[in-house]
Amino acid sequence: MQATTVRFQPYWITQKLKLDTNIITNNTSVLEISKFRCYISNIAFKKNNVVVWQEPNSYHLIDANDTSSYSIKLNMPATLIFDQIHFNIGIDSTTNVSGAMGGDLDPTKGMYWAWNSGYINFKLEGSSPLCTTHNKRFQYHIGGFSIPFNTLQQVDLPVHHTTNINIAIQLDQMVAQIDLEHQNSIMQPGRAAVEFSKKIAGIFRIKL
């Protein structure tokens, strides 16, 4: 066995994400991100599109409030040969209907909806002058697992055999796809959450 570390690092363009800090965006306006969390689950490695190893009980909360959550240690066979890493962004439907769970899935993590059972897969909050809301806030709580509003996203990225895999989460690319002026809040499962979720997978990229 060998410990491989997968590190998920949120970025704004080339800068590592800093919460509650002014960010000058492309269009020269100022934006702040106050909260960023997402679930990474079902981490696996593939060779020629076939799964060669998967992490058991694979549920990880990435939380910008706790940068130690960015690094995930995987105990996998040292001899493993793979060319892709696979993971889900969010929590699968079975886990969503399986009752109370501890660890990163504990409902104290602020990633569970009490009034419409289910995990929040991806949470992004902040402020932008483009938002006409109170304190110019935007809040995206993206979740929902029931058809037709399933927001779980699957990601496959090419990787070489290495002990450290760095994955960038390009939040600038997410914000660039959102109409902050007209849609500054998504707080429940539904069509808007599904549309948002489809844009999430693309912001996860291998960082060389």
Q: Which residues bind other proteins (CB under 8 A)?
A: 96-102, 105-108, 110, 112, 114-118, 146, 149, 190-191
Q: Between residues 73 and 191, which has the closer beta carbon with respect to other proteins?
A: 191
SS3 69: helix
Query: Where does residue 135 fall: left (phi above 0), alpha (psi -120 to 50 degrees), or beta otherwise?
Result: left
Name the minimum Å distance from CB 95 to other proteins: 11
Q: Between residues 64 and 130, which has the closer beta carbon with respect to other proteins?
A: 64
Close Cβ partners of 88 (under 8 Å, ≥ 6 residues apart): 39, 40, 41, 42, 152, 153, 154, 155
Query: Where does residue 15 fall: left (phi above 0), alpha (psi -120 to 50 degrees), or beta otherwise?
Result: beta
Q: Between residues 90 and 118, which has the closer beta carbon with respect to other proteins?
A: 118
Distance between the two ends of the chain, CA-based, in angstroms? 24
Q: Between residues 98 and 164, which has the closer beta carbon with respect to other proteins?
A: 98
CA angle 30, 65, 104 (to 5 degrees): 135
Q: Residues 93-101: contacts with CB within 8 Å, 24+ apart?
A: 93/145, 93/146, 93/150, 93/152, 95/41, 95/59, 95/119, 96/145
Q: Between residues 39 and 45, which has the closer beta carbon with respect to other proteins?
A: 39
Name the minimum Å distance from CB 174 to other proteins: 24
Q: Between residues 114 and 208, which has the closer beta carbon with respect to other proteins?
A: 114
Name the minimum Å distance from CB 138 to other proteins: 22
Name the minimum Å distance from CB 108 to other proteins: 4
Name the minimum Å distance from CB 39 to other proteins: 16
Name the minimum Å distance from CB 13 to other proteins: 33
d(CA 124, CA 126): 7
